[in-house]
Amino acid sequence: MAKRKTKYVCQDCGYEVAKWMGKCPGCDEWNTLVEEMESSDKRNKHTFNVGSKYSSKPESITAIESEKEPRIKTKMEEFNRVLGGGIVPGSLVLIGGDPGIGKSTLLLQISSQLAEKELPVLYISGEESTRQTKLRADRLNVKAELLYVLAETNLFDIAKQIEEIKPSFVVIDSIQTIFKEEISSAPGSVSQVRESTSELMKIAKSNGIPIFIVGHVTKEGSIAGPRILEHMVDAVLYFEGERHHTYRILRGVKNRFGSTNEMGIFEMKEEGLREVMNPSEIFLEERSQGAAGSTVVASMEGTRPVLVEIQALISPSSFGNPRRMATGIDANRVPLLMAVLEKRVGLMLQNQDAYIKVAGGVKLDEPAIDLAIVVSIASSFRDQPTQPEDIFVGEVGLTGEIRRVSRIEQRVQEAAKLGFKRVICPQRNMDGWTVPKGIQVIGVNTVQEALDIGVAR
């Protein structure tokens, strides 16, 4: 009989200790250590037949032949863009999001599209029965014969079915329900999630099967389980959006096969998710004309320019310490830019509350949005609206200068396509490209110049 011993594992970071402690030494979180049993017999009870096709001997980097494997395309171009051009064979992708946001709906639609292309797909549901999955499939009008559904949580049985069916695409919904018999801890624990993901990675790499696994998120918004889970997979996607709004955003935060700055926009309909090909129109369709504190910025999300409205509300403070609140941008950027306006422009904002919001629920983090934030704050403070056909792009320095931004040509082309007439941008971005017809590009060097052009006194 193999000896069994007790260990305590942190459910946040995976740190292991021999005895229980109130606070985890690894992440300093309280009451996260959970007792688990481990066996001294390290031999696996089951072995998976996943013979590797790769050599175990070291090779010279110059002797290795680089093979560009064709990606598996889906009918959703937004989904393909986030992954870097399509699904890579043998990749392990983790997708997370709030409950009810549409993760299972998205993956079931993708599975149906691949099955319609004569590719066998195995959809493994650990949270729902096959009948429940069938009900969702009927609502989404999924009728592909090569889409196989399996309600199973035992990792050995899952590996056995993958070996028998030999699918071209596998979905695990969700990784927190999968368990390995050799580990005594409950499904969803750190040990189960880590070991199950490790075995799935071996299956994906050795057989060339792309596997998508669904991960739950914590109340802080991060994917539940140990942090090593995100390091093990090839790509990490977040499905974001408000449950009571129809638009969803698929964003890549890690991708070994493409850019991590890409973003896909989807709209939730009764028959499922529908991709939004021109998100700029969506984000600007409810914009108020002639409202003080409203500006439009051309932001880059990966290789795609997106026009987004930035709103600011400046009001006198009733307390000695004015409030600075921001939604959709870094909250630390607001007091910094307000300090620039006070010092370089002369606006007395130290006794004003400031509320900044990016309309549409988008999160922007690039420096090119600084000028639009500054102009919206000045517009609200002076109670003077900006021109509704103006676009503001530029990074603001602490000395009040407007600094160069990247991809200015793509930003201007997107603005011209949507009917905007003027773009106020850094003067250093004016050379080396041709301005499209029907739009005026004005270069500025300082914040004061931008305010003189965009906001009347």
| Tens-digit pLDDT profile for residues 331-375 | 999 999 999 999 999 999 999 999 999 988 788 989 999 999 999
- Look at residues 228, 251, 200 and name the one whose alpha carbon lies nearest to residue 90: 200
Which residues are known binding-site members for ATP?
Answer: 97-104
Say whether 455 sits in a helix, a strand or coil.
Answer: coil
User: Higher pLDDT residue, 189 or 21?
Assistant: 21
> Hey, which residues does 305 pair with through a beta bridge?
300
Q: d(Cα 159, Cα 64) in Å, to the nearest integer? A: 30
Q: d(Cα 193, Cα 175) in Å, to the nearest integer? A: 7
**CB neighbour class for 350 (10 Å; exposed up to 12, middle 13-18, buried from 19):** exposed
User: Higher pLDDT residue, 302 or 408?
Assistant: 408
User: Higher pLDDT residue, 57 or 322?
Assistant: 322
Two structure tokens written together for 107: 């993956």
Task: Out of 196-205, 209-218, 225-234, pick the least confident.
Answer: 225-234
pLDDT at 277: 85
Say whether 378 sits in a helix, a strand or coil.
Answer: helix
Say whether 383 sits in a helix, a strand or coil.
Answer: coil
Q: d(Cα 37, Cα 183) in Å, to the nearest integer? A: 8
Task: Out of 145-154, 272-281, 368-377, pick the least confident.
Answer: 272-281
pLDDT at 54: 47
Q: Read off the pLDDT band of 43 (50, 70, 90).
A: very low
pLDDT at 282: 83
For residue 224, report the phi and psi dihedrals to the nearest 5 degrees. -70, 155
Provide DSSP, 103-118. HHHHHHHHHHHHHHTT
Instruction: Write the single-letter amino acid at 359.
Output: A
Mean pLDDT of 51-59: 62
- What percent of the chain has a predicted confidence (pLDDT) above 90? 59
In the numeric block, the tokens 């992954």 are attached to: 83
pTM here is: 0.76
- What percent of the chain has a predicted confidence (pLDDT) above 70? 91
- Look at residues 269, 283, 249 and name the one whose alpha carbon lies nearest to residue 97: 249
* Rounded (5°) CA angle 310-315-318: 140
> Hey, which residues does 39 pair with through a beta bridge?
4
Which residues are known binding-site members?
Answer: 97-104
Q: d(Cα 259, Cα 278) in Å, to the nearest integer? A: 20
Q: d(Cα 70, Cα 66) in Å, to the nearest integer? A: 13
User: Higher pLDDT residue, 224 or 216?
Assistant: 216
Q: Is the pLDDT of residue 245 over 90?
A: no
Provide DSSP, 35-80. EEEEES--S-SS-------S-SS---TTTSPP--PPPBP-S-HHHH
Q: Quick count: other Cβ atoms within 10 Å of Cβ 224?
A: 20
Give tens-digit pLDDT for 251-269.
888 999 888 878 888 998 8
Q: Is the pLDDT of residue 44 over 60?
A: no
Give tens-digit pLDDT for 83-97.
999 999 999 999 998
